[in-house]
Structure 1
Amino acid sequence: MCGFLGCVVTEEKCEGLVNFALDMIEHRGPDHSSFSFEKLDEKFIYLGHARLSIIDLSEQAVQPFESSCRRYSLIFNGEIYNYKELKSELQKLGYAFRTESDTEVLLTALVHWGVEVLPRLIGMFSFVFFDRVEKKLTLARDAFGIKPFFYASKDNDLYFASELRPLLHLREESPKPNFQRAYDYLVHGDYDSSEDSFIEGVRHIPPAHYFTFDLKVGVASRPTRWWQPDLTKTSSLSFDQAVEKLRGLFLDSVKLHLRSDVPLGVALSGGIDSSAVVSAVRYLQPNMPLNTFSYIASDKSISEERWVDIVNEDMRANGHKVIANEREMQADLDNMLLKQGEPFGSTSIYAQYRVFKLAKDSGVTVTLDGQGADELLAGYSGYPGYRLLSLIESEGWLAAHRYAKRWARSPGRSYLLAWQYLGRIRLPDRLYALVRKKMGRDFQPPWLNTEYLGQNCVRFTEARAPMSDQNRGQRVKEALVNSLMQRGLPSLLRHGDRNSMAFSIESRVPFLTIPLAEFLLSLPEHYLISEDGVTKHVFREAMRGIVPDSHLDRKDKIGFATPESTWLHSMADVIKDWIDQAPDIAFMNKGALLQEFDEVMEGKRPFDGRVWRWVNYLRWCSLMGIK
């Protein structure tokens, strides 16, 4: 786990500039930092790397990593968990290795197979691969976007980095806001769902994409997708057969994710997913010292402590817990915002931030957690609107009616709510916008200068998940793919990456492998969600005998919940100061925003996520110098 940066430019950069940019990502790699520099034809090429040593701790494995022939160089952030298997295969083909690192295996695999190897990699990665003979860079990102990759191109120059701030520093330009991303976030809470970042001209490589940069002509290709979830493949396995196969796939994945030369632990929330990871580790390693790290809400009504304690006791784990409050969050907010790099969704991200700090303070360098399970196994509330639509398309309205009645029996649900979920996804855009406005979610709120935004081509709509006729009868799986690759998981993975790296922790996510994803997305929907609306149906049964039944049978998971309303109400005066002191943003009306904020604090308007987004965005603008 590391961080990297670099550029291919027509004018030479000073060494101090590059070193200062590397200092900005020291938290991603505190064990070694360096950069290479060379001139090829008329281009100056800089490749910088900050290393967090996880596999092969020797100096031989530092980056930028060069091939023995000096033709190829690689900077790489992440881990290739099946590197030993790939290494063995490459050795049989005649390749020799001088290190025990996964970095050298990745470089050699790219030399031999090129980008065709990408679907075979089990891991998380972003990398830049430089071929001096071909005069070409290949830049790639893993299948799910677990590891970040920002880039910007201008006038035949290319800049890239693991985080936003060092890229902006290398580019030596004042950052300007991306108006569409600002609108999407502030009004709809939508972020990290497209190629665009919050900064104009800076983009993400999308998950499962790569592109090349040709030094001879100074041109970058369009990003090319190297893997796509395929919904046309449907498994013929019986439910019991699927249970057995899933059990094996998940245990194999956890086993690979345990490969580490440094201390390892598990982030434990108390829900099925993280509890399954803890339990699988204990199942695979009966005598391994096992440390878990948990956030415990001070509000008992949203606390998961009881569930955390059950797992720790049953799995003989050493549990570490942290409780956070609004004063601590206020003190940490600026640092967390800078580490996140961009605005984010809610105060629950602070709970995660503190869990990784706890792991760091406990001497652990690698953690595993359950991220991605909800998006592969139809978690949360079970995607009820999409499941109803699948049933209507495949079995008719009566089947949907019966399912809605069964779904409503679980806590926090109702028959009417099920149909409201369906209405949300089927309403035409105009009617959807009208309904949202009636609910207090105006698409053009008075605290936005919509005339200014309109002049800058902002679309005043909410991006809704597309639906294809070829996916009739499997709308849940269609929605899962959207959650995996666009709106949903990408933001959660960003939070996890930046929060863990803020404390030089490598966070691993064993649910997110191509074999697991392809298998789960091939299953019939009623394997994922039972006929009674129980989420993660096949996984719950696959974990019988490994995970405590108390967790497999629970239906009331809370998640990393913080008392956001209480926290922000207690910070009202501070928040007003932050809003008042923030730079004047051309597309925001501070007066109208402060008036609405006062109305929310006085109970005249409902409290919702937009309050946090105001705070987050304006504070971010202040810290980043955006006007």
Structure 2
Amino acid sequence: MCGFAVAIDWPDAAEAVNRLVQGIATRGDVTDPLCQPKETVAMCTRRLRIIDRDNAVQPQTSFDGKLAVSFNGEIYNYRELRDELVTLGARFRTDSDTEVLANALRFWGYHALAKLRGMYAFVAYEIPTGQFLAARDPFGIKPLYVMQKDNGFLFCSEMRPLLNTVEKGDVMSLPPGFLLTHNTCAPFPSMVQPQPETFQPTDRKKLDALLREAVESHLPSDLPFAIMFSGGIDSTLVAHYARQVRPEVSGYFVGGHESVDYPFAAAYAEATGFDMKKVPFDPHSDDTFALLSEAVVTTESFEPALVRGAVVSLAVSKAIQKDNIRVALCGEGADELFCGYTPLEKAFGIDEGYGRAMREECLGLMNRISLQRVDRCSMHHNLETRVPFLDPMVANYARGLAADDLVRDGVGKAALRDLFDLYPKDLPRIIRDRSKILFSEGAGLKATPEEYAWDDRFEDAISDIEFVDGLRRYSAFNLHSKEELYYLQLLHQGMDVFRMPQLRKRARITAAPPSAAKSA
């Protein structure tokens, strides 16, 4: 939806916030007026106008004017919450979800977080007391970064503006599912439940209904939208459910006829009449390789899994935005929840407990890989991308599934594949039975598991001596390849990577398989 900056108990608060907002200009199409409740407090939003576009100026305040909220994201059940709040005496001036959040926090305090269904990061400031509450959604779909100096806090939706605004000090990431106050940083209860202790077999009709409702709740009510479409199981299901409500929606496919994903995407388009728009992409061209610098700086990361996909995500986001569309849906989260990745398939084959532990770790890493890529690349082009597979109801259902409905005969996403049998005319079997291909690979970036189109380029760019020197200079970042060093150097050109502690904790799976003795 947007990006925001908030200063609380911070010297020169207005000046700092104005500089921060200038650094997140791509995250919206209008800058709302700066609000300064007191000299050391300032709030400002770069807003992408989607819900109540003319009236939802931020920060929104509670009905009694005591609570001001800067908000990034979407609350999909805001209308239901609004009706409940009206019965309690709340009055509303707008039809925005931000105002609903402000009133929910005013009535229920942090307990309101357990009622939110959506993606969000926000800072709420209580004007009479000077207290604040910041929070980030349970999966970290939306980002929130903070710097602290003495008793003061400075918040922003991206890291680089904080580094450019404050000369010293580290930029910290608020963890997903955590709240922050002057005195507390702790997890909060949410609609996403912990993994249960017992597991149930899948019910195809129930999962079908859950996914249909999740996708429908994520559709904008009065704006055109797009689907990031690869012809994979996940994006095909999103397209299938979205078209039941909005049949006119288009899908944007990255690549050409030679791309690995193309035959599958074309099969769905031909079977259903889906309007599939092709976004040209040549993974071997010099122009594509040159986009790495933009991908690294935009995503604020040097993780190869993120950067490779970001080149493709930037291409599709740019194409969608060029068609004057502000909202897109994608299939992120399905592979983590329903075990589509090869490591998860193998882990469940070794031991169910090991597989579930790895899945939880994958879910915990999304905010630093796939979700960070989606947020930065789409917002870089004034586009909000929504992730219906991470709806709390879908996530809770997936985490409660029996192992055989996650990985069956060594193949993941069994429960999702079963849904294709409910719609044999609309969901081609060729997609149901396909193997998992990463988004970037499907577009052609990696033609086969043994071939990576850019390996030789990294070898040419960094000599062995330079690699050794780089390992020494960036020893805290646990580098393993010239590709990682290449990306980190690009990132360091635009920001001080040594002031970003989260970068040193690599986004890698650490779950260990059971011992040989236990397996025996």
**2:8 pairs with 1:45:** no
| Match among 273, 294, 298 for residue 316 of structure 1 | 273
| Match among 386, 393, 397 for residue 519 of structure 1 | 397
**2:416 pairs with 1:539:** yes
- Give the C-alpha shift of residue 135 in structure 1: 2.2
| Match among 433, 441, 444 for residue 553 of structure 1 | 433
**2:295 pairs with 1:340:** no
**2:458 pairs with 1:587:** no
Q: 1:188-337 counterparts in 2 under 5 A?
A: 201-213=170-182, 220-227=183-190, 229-236=193-200, 238-239=201-202, 242-285=203-246, 288-296=247-255, 300=258, 303-322=260-279, 323-325=281-283, 326-337=285-296
CA contact (8 A) 1:229 1:481 kept: no
| Match among 331, 338, 355 for residue 476 of structure 1 | 355
1:533 counterpart letter in structure 2: G
* 1:583-607 deviation per Cα after TM superposition (whole angstroms, max 9, x unaligned): 9896249xxxxxxxxxxxxxxxxxx
Q: 1:105-144 counterparts in 2 under 5 A?
A: 105-144=100-139
- Once residues 584 and 246 of structure 1 are traced to their aligned partners in structure 2, the CA distance between those partners, rounded to angstroms, is 49
- Once residues 162 and 69 of structure 1 are traced to their aligned partners in structure 2, the CA distance between those partners, rounded to angstroms, is 27
| Match among 149, 154, 161 for residue 159 of structure 1 | 154
**Aligned CA distance change for structure 1 residues 489 and 127 (closer, same or farther; 3 Å):** closer
- Give the C-alpha shift of residue 134 in structure 1: 3.3
CA contact (8 A) 1:119 1:514 kept: no
Q: 1:369-380 counterparts in 2 under 5 A?
A: 369-380=330-341
- Give the C-alpha shift of residue 293 in structure 1: 1.0
* 1:429-470 deviation per Cα after TM superposition (whole angstroms, max 9, x unaligned): xxxxxxxxxxxxxxxxxxxxxxxxxxxxxxxxxxxxxxxxxx
Secondary structure in 2 aligned to 1:547?
coil
- Once residues 253 and 232 of structure 2 are traced to their aligned partners in structure 1, the CA distance between those partners, rounded to angstroms, is 11
1:377 counterpart letter in structure 2: F
Partner of 2:452: 565
CA contact (8 A) 2:19 2:165 kept: no
* 1:341-371 deviation per Cα after TM superposition (whole angstroms, max 9, x unaligned): 2323242321111111111112211110000
- Once residues 459 and 197 of structure 2 are traced to their aligned partners in structure 1, the CA distance between those partners, rounded to angstroms, is 52
CA contact (8 A) 1:6 1:159 kept: yes
Secondary structure in 2 aligned to 1:159?
strand
Partner of 1:4: 4
Aligned pair count reads 481
- Give the C-alpha shift of residue 21 in structure 1: 2.1
Partner of 1:440: none
- Once residues 171 and 221 of structure 2 are traced to their aligned partners in structure 1, the CA distance between those partners, rounded to angstroms, is 34
**2:353 pairs with 1:353:** no
* 1:503-534 deviation per Cα after TM superposition (whole angstroms, max 9, x unaligned): 0100000000221111111121112122x223
**2:487 pairs with 1:616:** yes
| Structure (1 or 2) with the larger CA radius of gyration | 1
Partner of 1:465: none
* 1:370-414 deviation per Cα after TM superposition (whole angstroms, max 9, x unaligned): 000011101122624432343xxxxxxxxxxxxxxxxxxxxxxxx
**Aligned CA distance change for structure 1 residues 385 and 165 (closer, same or farther; 3 Å):** same
Secondary structure in 1 aligned to 2:331?
coil
- Give the C-alpha shift of residue 260 in structure 1: 3.8
Partner of 1:437: none
- Give the C-alpha shift of residue 96 in structure 1: 2.1
- Give the C-alpha shift of residue 119 in structure 1: 2.7
- Give the C-alpha shift of residue 106 in structure 1: 1.3
- Once residues 384 and 537 of structure 1 are traced to their aligned partners in structure 2, the CA distance between those partners, rounded to angstroms, is 11
**Aligned CA distance change for structure 1 residues 331 and 475 (closer, same or farther; 3 Å):** closer
2:138 counterpart letter in structure 1: A
Secondary structure in 2 aligned to 1:250?
helix
- Once residues 388 and 436 of structure 2 are traced to their aligned partners in structure 1, the CA distance between those partners, rounded to angstroms, is 23
CA contact (8 A) 2:195 2:399 kept: yes
**Aligned CA distance change for structure 1 residues 64 and 169 (closer, same or farther; 3 Å):** farther
- Give the C-alpha shift of residue 327 in structure 1: 1.9
- Give the C-alpha shift of residue 10 in structure 1: 4.7
- Once residues 35 and 342 of structure 1 are traced to their aligned partners in structure 2, the CA distance between those partners, rounded to angstroms, is 30
- Once residues 412 and 278 of structure 2 are traced to their aligned partners in structure 1, the CA distance between those partners, rounded to angstroms, is 28
- Once residues 558 and 372 of structure 1 are traced to their aligned partners in structure 2, the CA distance between those partners, rounded to angstroms, is 13
**Aligned CA distance change for structure 1 residues 234 and 103 (closer, same or farther; 3 Å):** same
TM-score (normalizing by structure 1): 0.71
Unaligned runs of 5+ in 2: 499-520
* 1:190-240 deviation per Cα after TM superposition (whole angstroms, max 9, x unaligned): xxxxxxxxxx72211111111112xxxxxx42233434642334355x54x
**Aligned CA distance change for structure 1 residues 584 and 537 (closer, same or farther; 3 Å):** closer
- Once residues 41 and 282 of structure 2 are traced to their aligned partners in structure 1, the CA distance between those partners, rounded to angstroms, is 45
* 1:554-607 deviation per Cα after TM superposition (whole angstroms, max 9, x unaligned): 23545321148333525765x349x979x9896249xxxxxxxxxxxxxxxxxx
**Aligned CA distance change for structure 1 residues 492 and 79 (closer, same or farther; 3 Å):** same
CA contact (8 A) 1:79 1:102 kept: yes
- Give the C-alpha shift of residue 307 in structure 1: 1.1
TM-score (normalizing by structure 2): 0.85
1:24 counterpart letter in structure 2: G
RMSD of Structure 2 on Structure 1 (CA): 2.9
- Once residues 248 and 59 of structure 2 are traced to their aligned partners in structure 1, the CA distance between those partners, rounded to angstroms, is 34
- Once residues 72 and 331 of structure 1 are traced to their aligned partners in structure 2, the CA distance between those partners, rounded to angstroms, is 46
With 515-524 and 221-230 compared, the bigger mean Cα shift is at 221-230
- Give the C-alpha shift of residue 275 in structure 1: 0.8
Partner of 2:388: 510
- Once residues 332 and 355 of structure 1 are traced to their aligned partners in structure 2, the CA distance between those partners, rounded to angstroms, is 13
* 1:18-60 deviation per Cα after TM superposition (whole angstroms, max 9, x unaligned): 32321110100122333212327xxx011121000111111x2
CA contact (8 A) 1:210 1:226 kept: no
- Once residues 159 and 6 of structure 1 are traced to their aligned partners in structure 2, the CA distance between those partners, rounded to angstroms, is 6
Partner of 1:436: none
Partner of 2:24: 25
CA contact (8 A) 2:458 2:486 kept: no
CA contact (8 A) 1:9 1:45 kept: yes
- Once residues 322 and 354 of structure 2 are traced to their aligned partners in structure 1, the CA distance between those partners, rounded to angstroms, is 44
